Structure 1
């Protein structure tokens, strides 16, 4: 499941993910994300994975990769919080394609992640 976090406002978007992400999750979330890109251009995103997060199924992974490539220069900052180590490594590799900054945080560093992504 993908949910917009209540702390989101303007170009700051907090995304809470849980369980195994499916294409349907992206289909529901993409209009919100595209609207933010239209309204604000570049975004600062906090990606929060709770303890139930398992990753992406194949179609959802494709949607995520397509989104990342389409908007590679539109992420000003991205904080990745609480994700499994394999996701952190994927994010570090994708940093070579993105223009913005990516920083990894442990789940108990959520407040620090918000402060950094807002910074």
Structure 2
């Protein structure tokens, strides 16, 4: 498993830790968590710790796209914790392309700030 579901301070937030190549089974677990949380919450938030991204399989990419299209309007915030330099510009682009989902990036030394922001 390259994506692990991790606890958050809010039941309306899904926590993910990414470390390696993303496979379809990873997306399936995320999809199950999303569906379960949407039974009790109108909007969800995502907290992502990106330790190492080793790519994504083609099957996982298709599953991820299906999940994103199905739940496009079900999310309002996403926090990405990562020290890679490309994450902050990617978050900025995402905010312009998808203004209904506010995305912020945080370095690993500010994990607590990211968790607090996503769960407020």
Per the TM superposition, whether the score is higher than 0.5 is yes
Q: Following TM superposition, by how much is the alpha carbon of 1:83 offset from its aligned partner in structure 2, in angstroms? A: 6.4
Quote the residue 2:63 is aligned against: 63
Moved over 6 A (4+): none
1:75–1:98 contact (8 Å) kept in structure 2: no
Counterparts of 1:118 and 1:97 in 2: how far apart (Å)? 20
**1:1-119 alignment runs, 5 A limit:** 1-7=2-8, 9-50=10-51, 52-82=52-82, 84-86=84-86, 88-95=88-95, 96-97=97-98, 99-119=100-120
Asked if 1 retains the 8 angstrom alpha-carbon contact of 2:47 and 2:114, the reply is: yes
- Deviation of residue 90 (structure 1)? 4.5
User: Structure 1: 5+ residue runs without aligned partners?
Assistant: none
- Structure number having the greater strand percentage: 2
Query: Which structure 2 residue ranges, 5 or more long, are not aligned?
Result: none
TM-score (norm 1): 0.81
Shift of 1:113: 0.4
Query: Paired residues, what number?
Result: 118
Please report the RMSD computed on the Cα atoms of aligned residues, expressed in angstroms.
Answer: 2.2
Residue by residue over 1:63-86, the C-alpha shift from the partner in whole angstroms, topping out at 9 and shown as x without a partner, is 222222222221121101116445
